[in-house]
Amino acid sequence: MSSVSAQSPDGTARGVIVVGAGPVGLTAALALRAYGVPVTVLEAGPEGRQRPGSRAIFTHSQTLQILDRISPGLGAELSRHGVYWNTQRTFYEGREVYAKTYPSPPEGVYPHFTSLPQVRIEAYLQARAVVAGVELVWDQEIAGVSADDAGVTLTTSSGRRWTAEYVVGADGSRSVVRKQVGARMEGGKDDGWYVVVDVDEIEQPTLPRERHFHYAHPAVDGRNVLVVPFAGGYRVDLQLVDGDDPEGLASPDGVRAWLDAVLPPGYADRTSWVSTYQFLQLVAHDFADPSRRVLLVGEAAHLFAPFGARGLNSGVPDAEAAAVAIAAALRATNRAAARTPVEAFALARRSAALFNRDAAGEALAHLRPGPETAAAVRAAAARAPQDAEASAWLEKAPYGPRGVHRAETVYRY
Ligand SMILES: Cc1cc2nc3c(=O)[nH]c(=O)nc-3n(C[C@H](O)[C@H](O)[C@H](O)COP(=O)(O)OP(=O)(O)OC[C@H]3O[C@@H](n4cnc5c(N)ncnc54)[C@H](O)[C@@H]3O)c2cc1C
Alpha carbon distance 197, 206 (integer Å) = 18
Is 204 a residue whose pLDDT tops 80?
Answer: yes
Q: How far is the CA of 25 from the centre of ligand 1 (A)?
A: 9
CA of residue 22 to ligand 1 center, whole Å: 6
Q: How far is residue 234's CA from residue 272's CA, in Å, rounded to a whole number?
A: 10
Distance 24 CA to ligand 1 centre (A): 7
Instruction: For 32-73, give the DSSP string.
Output: HHHTT---EEE-SSPTT---SS----EEEHHHHHHHHHHSTT
Q: How far apart are CA 228 and CA 240, in angstroms?
A: 18
Ligand 1, atom 29: closest residue by C-alpha: 22
Q: Report which of 386, 399, 381, 393 is spatially closest to residue 92, judged by C-alpha positions.
A: 381
Summarize pLDDT for 8-50 with one digit per residue, the tens: 445 588 999 999 999 999 999 999 999 999 999 999 999 999 8
Q: Among positive and negative, which fits the CA dihedral 149, 155, 159, 163? A: negative
- What whole-number distance in Å separates Cα of residue 352 and Cα of residue 156? 31
8 C-alpha to center of ligand 1: Å?
A: 30
Mean pLDDT of 149-173: 97
Ligand 1 neighbours, Cβ below 6 Å, are 19-25, 42-45, 55-58, 118, 140-142, 170-173, 176, 196, 298-299, 306, 309, 311-313, 315
pLDDT in tens, 270-326: 999 999 999 999 999 999 999 999 999 999 999 999 888 999 999 999 999 999 999
CB atoms within 10 A of CB 132: 16
Q: Would you say 413 and 228 are in contact if contact means Cβ atoms under 8 Å apart? A: yes
In the CATH hierarchy, which fold is given to the domain comprising 13-86+95-187+280-363? Answer: FAD/NAD(P)-binding domain (3.50.50)
d(CA 215, CA 225): 7
Alpha helices in 132-184 (DSSP H): 176-180
Average confidence (pLDDT) over 336-356: 96
Measured CA to CA, the distance from residue 228 to residue 252 in angstroms comes to: 21
> Strands 294-296 and 223-230, how do they pair?
unpaired
Distance from the CA of 330 to the center of ligand 1, in angstroms? 28
Query: What pLDDT, on the 0 to 100 scale, is given for residue 104?
Result: 87
pLDDT of residue 413: 25
Helix (H) / strand (E) element for 93: namely none
Q: Span 194-277: which CATH code?
A: 3.30.70
Residue 362 clears pLDDT 60, i.e. is over it: yes
Q: Which residues is 276 bridged to in the sheet?
A: 195
* Angstrom distance (rounded) from CA 269 to CA 289: 48
User: Residue 407's pLDDT is what?
Assistant: 41
Task: Locate the domains of the chain by residue range.
Answer: 13-86+95-187+280-363, 194-277
Mean pLDDT of 51-56: 82
pTM metric for this prediction: 0.93
How far apart, in whole angstroms, are the C-alpha atoms of residue 344 and residue 287? 10
Total count of residues recorded for the chain: 413
Residue 410 has pLDDT above 70, yes or no: no
What are the φ/ψ torsions at residue 173 (nearest 5 degrees)?
Answer: -60, -30
Q: Do domains 13-86+95-187+280-363 and 194-277 have the same CATH topology?
A: no
User: What's the one-letter identity of residue 99?
Assistant: A
pLDDT grade, residue 182 (50/70/90)?
A: very high
Q: Percent helix, strand and coil across the chain, each rounded to 5? A: 35, 25, 35
Query: Cα dihedral angle (175, 314, 276, 143), rounded to 10 degrees?
Result: -10
Least confident interval from 316-320, 359-363, 409-413: 409-413
Average pLDDT, the chain: 92
Counting atoms of ligand 1 from 1, which one is nearest the CA of 173?
30
> Which of 299, 320, 408 for a ligand 1 pocket mutation test, highest count of atoms within 8 Å of Cβ?
299
Burial of 149 (0-12, 13-18, 19+ CB in 10 A): exposed
